[in-house]
Amino acid sequence: MKTIDGGVCAAKGFSASGIHCGIRKNKTKRDLSLIYSETQCSAAAVYTTNLVKGAPIEVTRENISDGFARAIICNSGNANTCNADGRTVAEKTCCILAEELGISPKDVVVASTGVIGQPLDIEPISDGIPSLVAELSKDGCDSAAEGIMTTDTKKKEIALEFEIGGRICRIGGIAKGSGMIHPNMATMLVFITTDTAISPDMLRKALSGDIKKTFNMLSIDGDTSTNDMVVVLANGMAGNREITEENDDYKAFAQALNAVNVSLCRMIAADGEGATKLLECSVSGAETESVAKQVAKSVICSSLLKAAMFGADANWGRVLCAIGYSGAQLDVNTIGVSFKSHAGVIEVCRNGTGVDFSEELAKKILLENEIEILVDLGCGQYSASAWGCDLTYDYVKINGDYRT
């Protein structure tokens, strides 16, 4: 497996584009993106568990209920959520795009991101779709990645090449996400493409299994979005024998999917609203995988710990505190904690109590922009990781006037 260029356009048969259509007032920002496959694709998706859901989620869920799709269209600047005509706008978007592409409206995934509760005018979208389609390109991933951004400061894209049954396969993804990120069964917006031949059932199985150890282990601020969606399209153009069961080919695909998802998780966490540091909590020595996940997620969600990491304060007591209220059943007297970065590693807690350590070295380690919080529960063989970011003054500034 190796990293390659191209993002969602790296896989055979996929092209993408992104334009400014007028949803955003800032004309320098793209606000409408498209990903398209030359041929029909197996499709799988997971969605937010928030009871308040964006209209595009309802439409997409119905459109791909048969397991197939060919196009993904997404606007930024408006979430199309809690709008009286939201479903109508989402459905019209699918119909207008389908007519322009010459495909069925049921083969369109539609998504939106941005402010909740503001009406979304169909006119800029309908006027922009012809240009959006005309600009489809194998080099269009950057434009598409930019078009789905809201408070993101960086585009998030990745592509990998791997082998299945002697055939070279490719998988790539783009994501948006910087705030309102605390998913359960999905995350922000993530669009993944692959030319691997895999049945809809196996694609759904691979995706639903992987998010439990990737996107479900990611948190920026504890808020679950109304529009969270992860979608994978697989068009089979790599020419491998179709994956229809859990065999070695399935394992190879699942491994590649996991690598893409982990990369996107890290990019999203590092670009959290106002963030200066990527945090990763790596838990080992757990009695069960469930316990490892509970602990890792609890630590990464702690506002007090996140604030301490912003200040480069080795306040390890906040790690123990978060473990203690995680709900996991464990022996607190066997817990060890260390902090690690490119500047080194330092042990700060052993067997549930503090150890002497150099505050100067700890400060140096925690001043780096990527920090790993190592937790050894000392009572088993299971492990898990979770990702997040520090909590800074700028998070409040960004969200204090996000709408206005």
The pLDDT value recorded for residue 79 is 92
The CA-based dihedral angle spanning residues 284, 222, 254, 189, taken in that order and rounded to the nearest 10 degrees: -160
Percent pLDDT > 90 in the chain is 84
- Would you tell me how many other CB atoms lie within 10 Å of the CB of residue 324? 14
- Average pLDDT on 157-175 reads 97
Query: Quick check: 377 pLDDT over 90?
Result: yes
The CATH code of the domain at 278-400 is 3.10.20.340
Asked whether this chain's domains 2-270 and 278-400 adopt the same fold, the reply is no
pLDDT band for position 201 (50/70/90)?
Answer: very high
3-state secondary structure of 147: helix
Q: The tokens 């119905």 sit on which residue?
A: 62
Q: The tokens 């670009």 sit on which residue?
A: 271
Classify domain 2-270 at the CATH superfamily level.
Answer: L-amino peptidase D-ALA esterase/amidase (3.60.70.12)
CA 64 to CA 41: how far, in whole Å? 10
pLDDT digits (tens, 9 = 90+) for 214-264: 998 998 777 777 888 999 999 999 999 999 999 999 999 999 999 999 999
- Average pLDDT on 356-360 reads 97
pLDDT digits (tens, 9 = 90+) for 26-69: 888 999 999 999 999 999 999 988 888 899 999 999 999 999 99
The per-residue DSSP string of 70-93 comes to EEEEEEEEE---S-TTHHHHHHHH
Q: Which residues of 234-256 are buried (b: 16+ CB within 10 A; e: fewer)?
A: bbbbbebeebeeeeebbebbbeb
Query: Quick check: 146 pLDDT over 60?
Result: yes
Residues 155, 149 contacting (CB under 8 angstroms) = yes
pLDDT digits (tens, 9 = 90+) for 293-341: 999 999 999 999 999 999 999 999 999 999 999 999 999 999 999 999 9
pLDDT band for position 177 (50/70/90)?
Answer: confident
67-76, 229-238, 269-278: range with lowest mean pLDDT: 269-278
H-type alpha helices, 155-288: 200-210, 248-270
The per-residue DSSP string of 104-130 comes to -GGGEEEEEEEETTS---HHHHHHHHH
The pLDDT value recorded for residue 403 is 66
Q: Which residues are catalytic?
A: 187
Which residues fall within 8 angstroms of residue 181, CB to CB, at 6 or more apart?
187, 188, 218, 219, 220, 221, 223, 225, 268, 272
CA 35 to CA 41: how far, in whole Å? 12
- Would you tell me how many other CB atoms lie within 10 Å of the CB of residue 325? 9
The per-residue DSSP string of 331-398 comes to -GGG-EEEEEETTEEEEEEETTEE----HHHHHHHHTSSEEEEEEE-SS-SEEEEEEEE---HHHHHH
> What are the structural domain ranges in the chain?
2-270, 278-400
Start-to-end C-alpha separation, the chain = 45
Task: Tell me the two tokens of residue 217.
Answer: 């282990």
- Would you tell me how many other CB atoms lie within 10 Å of the CB of residue 333? 10
- Which is more confidently placed, 274 or 233? 233
CA 167 to CA 241: how far, in whole Å? 9
CA 361 to CA 120: how far, in whole Å? 52
CA 200 to CA 171: how far, in whole Å? 16
Q: Whole-model pTM above 0.85? A: yes
β-bridge mates for residue 160, sequence order: 3, 171
